[in-house]
Amino acid sequence: SDLQKQEERGELLQPLIFVLLVLCSILLYFKVSLMDPGFVKPEEEEGEDKGQGVVIPQLPDDIKLRRCGYCLVKQPMRAKHCQQCQHCVRRYDHHCPWLENCVGERNHPLFIVYLSVQLVVLLWGGHVAWSGLYFEQSREWLQHNIFLLVSFLLILIFTIVVLLLLVSHLYLISCNTTTWEFMSHHRISYLRHSELENPFDQGIILNLWRFFC
C-alpha cells in the first residue's frame, strides 16, 4: 500500500517526530503548571538560616531573614510571596499567567526545557506552513491560502515571543539572577545593601551547572 511505501522511504518519520514533540510539549506544560514551584512551608522554617552566609558572605550583619506579611512564614533568601498563588516561593522568578503557576526553584529548569521544546515545535510548524505557500497576486490565491497565511503569521508571532523569553531567561540564568531580582534590584534589601551588584554570580559555567545539574 501507499502507507507501507511511505514508511519504507522514511517519509513518515518526520511527522511522527513532530507529533511526539507536540505531545512532549503538552506534557511539559501540564507538568510545569501543576507541580509545586518551591512553596515555603511553615514546618521548614527550622534551619533556614544555615548556609545563607555561605551564599552571600558580603551581606551586612543587619540584614536578617524576615517573616512574610501575608502567610507569616520565615522567608528564605531569594524567596518572595506570590499574590496569585498565596504562597511564598523559593528562588521566585515570576508568576506565569499562561501556566497559572509560579516559576520558582523547583520548576524553573523544566520551564526552560518546555520553552526549548515549544520553540522547536514552532520553528518546525512555521517551516511547514511556509513551504506550503506559493505566492500569486490574485484574489483566488488569497481565498485558497488565507488559512495557511494566517497560520504562518500566528506561528511567527509566537515564535518571536518564545524566542525572546527563552533568550532572556538563559541570560538571567547565566548571571544567576531571577526575573524578580533583575526587575526589582533597587527594592530588595539583600541586593541593595550588598557590596557586589550580583552577589550570587559565580561565573557563567558554574551558574549554568548549578541551575541545570
Catalytic residues: 96
What crossing angle do the helices spanning 108-131 and 139-174 adopt, rounded to 10°? 160
Provide the 8-state DSSP code for 195: S
* Diameter of the chain measured on Cα atoms: 77
CA–CA gap between residue 152 and residue 131 (Å, rounded): 10
CA–CA gap between residue 133 and residue 105 (Å, rounded): 43
Q: Which residues pair with 95 in a beta bridge?
A: 102
- Long-range CB contacts (within 8 A, 24+) of 149-153: 152/126
